[in-house]
Amino acid sequence: MAYIDGYLVPVPEGNREKYREMAQEMSGIFKEYGATRVVEAFEDDCPAGKRNDFHTAVLAEDGERTVFSFVEWPSKETRDQAWKKMEADERMQPKGDTPFDGKRLIYGGFTPIVDA
């Protein structure tokens, strides 16, 4: 069964295109290492919640929008092997200013329970 890596990150609105370019480059690397699908989605309709929401989850500041992303892998084993290799891949190392604050990036691995 597939395995999913999920991400949520705040991105300054002014960095939208820079983030898209970085995400496009990273998607190619993920697919090179075995990912079957990479989705990066810039916030369009994320209402404020009464207790919590996407914005508070990442401590989004004024002028920032959330990006919801996921990478689909054929299996957890494929994902684990890929990450070991990607951590050593020079292309995955930070290059100068990133278009987001990585300290507020939320991520995790997920086993699907419904795939309709």
User: pLDDT digit of tens for each residue in the chain (116 aa)?
Assistant: 899 999 999 999 999 999 999 999 999 999 999 999 999 999 999 999 999 999 999 999 999 999 999 999 999 999 999 999 999 999 998 777 889 998 999 999 999 999 99
CATH fold, domain 3-90+100-110, is Alpha-Beta Plaits (3.30.70)
- The residues, ordered by sequence, that sit 6+ positions from 12 with a Cβ below 8 Å of its Cβ are 63, 64, 99, 100
CA distance 86 to 33: 8
pLDDT of residue 95: 76
Q: What is the pTM of this model?
A: 0.92
Q: How far apart are CA 92 and CA 88, in angstroms?
A: 8
Q: Where are the domains of the chain?
A: 3-90+100-110
Amino acid 96: pLDDT: 78
* DSSP result, 25-77: HHHHHHHHTT-SEEEEEE-SS-PPPSS--HHHHTTPPTTEEEEEEEEEES-HH
**Taking Cα atoms as reference points, which of 7, 20, 34 lies closest to residue 110?**
7
The predicted structure's pLDDT at residue 94: 78
